Amino acid sequence: MSVEEVVASLLGRFLREMSSIGLKKFCYKLKLRGGKRKRVQRLLFGVVSHLILVDWIMSRIGAPRDEWERNLLRVIIYRLAVERNREVVRRLDGVCGFDLEELARRVDEILAEVERLRGARKLSLKYSFPEWLVERLLEYMPESKVREVLAGLNQRTPTWAIVNTRKIDRDELIDLLSREGFECLPDDELDDVIMVVRGGEKLEQSTACRLGLLLIADKASAVVVHVLDPRPGESILDMCSAPGVKLIHASFRMGEGRIVAVDISEKRVARMRELIARYGVDDVIELKVLVKDARKLTEDEVGEIDKILLDPECTSTGVVPRSPDVKLRVTPERLREMVELQWGLLSHAVKLGRRCGARVLVYSVCSVTPDEGELIIERAVRELGVRVCDVPYGSEAYIPGLGVRLFPHIHKTLGFFISKLRLD
């Protein structure tokens, strides 16, 4: 069976199961090995990432009624329209029921039509993002910038790792990894971060990872912790903490102190507890873990604190380089739901933080929408009287003075919004 046919059946299965499983986990569970696994995974990721364009082309050509044929046509259109791969015409000739020469000709005509379109419609199809989302970005950035952001989100970002500085020095870690065939570069902004330029996909199997000498995490996530700047002996409230990546990084930097970690999801907290044990966080940190809605946290549960980290659930539109299926899940309703949750969490965090003695709150989301970043902070400044601090990383936010943004095309990270607030 050709790789296109395998991917066509997997695509059908994934689209049916998508409400309960992400693409990364779906691929992880596939019973495929070695080279075939890589080819299948790359093609499936590509088709899902460009499904908006592919489906638009298919709607112009006429979608087959049969589900299997429809999915095979999607895969072939992806090969022709996105990869610009004509070899598939010869290779699959006779394998499927389509006239592939004619299909390739129609795809070229339709792509030329896309080029003649203007504004949000054109960008939505060219980069395969929902049109309403592109329109939202165009309200805050010129078209040339939106183009760069969308193109960047369609590229894979490098693998990054955080050094467990409690156990190993960065140069020693790079040395240790290089002896196992990994090639790593020290990050020039963050003293405890490395970029894995070769072998990233196998980093989890490295001795260093197994010994807890590194934590696999995107650089943007590490920037959030550097902005929080947890110091030895401080008390931190981590309001949406699971699976605990930022908490564990904070514990590396603090050495000693107190963390109150809260998350609403029992399942994610269970995963966080595993990571906490693996990195020995509670050997050094006085740790309190609560499974509850952080909007209902009380002063008694939290106690005296210095700083708050609020990294709430979001549309994850900044994570598209790693999870392209986010493009198929994000809807205006989901965005509204997330904004309501984020505002509920932030307004409670500010009020609670003030009562518990916190001076600083860091707010972060892995999203590229202004609604979950700048507009939330703008409202907090207006209604809660917080002050926004300068942050020495990333690019200026869509609305200057309200925080910073990290982008794949500029910072080689996932898309993040970060804002540091003074509560006093």
Residue 240 within binding range of ligand SAM, rule CB under 6 A = yes
Token representation of residue 267 = 């399942």
Residue 313 within binding range of ligand SAM, rule CB under 6 A = yes
The partner residues of 277 in beta bridges, in order of sequence, read none
Residue 245 within binding range of ligand SAM, rule CB under 6 A = yes
Residue 230 within binding range of ligand SAM, rule CB under 6 A = no
C-beta separation of 311 from 227 below 8 A: no
Q: Which is nearer to ligand SAM, 71 or 316 (CB)?
A: 316
Q: 3-state secondary structure string, 91-143? A: HCCCCCCCCHHHHHHHHHHHHHHHHHCCHHHHHHHHHCCCHHHHHHHHCCCCH
Q: Which is nearer to ligand SAM, 265 or 347 (CB)?
A: 265
Cα separation, 149 vs 160, in Å, equals 20
Query: Who contacts 309 (Cβ-Cβ below 8 Å, separation ≥6)?
Result: 224, 225, 228, 236, 237, 238, 239, 241, 246, 250, 361, 362, 364
Rounded least distance, CB 276 to ligand SAM, Å = 11
Size of the site for ligand SAM (CB under 6 A): 20
Q: Which is nearer to ligand SAM, 41 or 364 (CB)?
A: 364
The partner residues of 97 in beta bridges, in order of sequence, read none
Cα separation, 364 vs 405, in Å, equals 10
Of these, 72, 236, 242, 319, which contacts ligand SAM (CB under 6 A)?
Answer: 242
C-beta separation of 335 from 386 below 8 A: no
Could you tell me which of 375, 321, 370 has the C-alpha nearest to residue 343?
A: 375
Q: Which is nearer to ligand SAM, 268 or 379 (CB)?
A: 268
Residue 311 within binding range of ligand SAM, rule CB under 6 A = yes
Q: Which is nearer to ligand SAM, 243 or 324 (CB)?
A: 243
Residue 329 within binding range of ligand SAM, rule CB under 6 A = no
Rounded least distance, CB 233 to ligand SAM, Å = 22
Residue 350 within binding range of ligand SAM, rule CB under 6 A = no
Of these, 246, 273, 307, 405, which contacts ligand SAM (CB under 6 A)?
Answer: 246
Of these, 187, 234, 263, 374, which contacts ligand SAM (CB under 6 A)?
Answer: 263
Rounded least distance, CB 270 to ligand SAM, Å = 11
Give the binding site for ligand SAM (CB under 6 A). Answer: 221, 240-246, 262-265, 268, 293-295, 311-313, 341
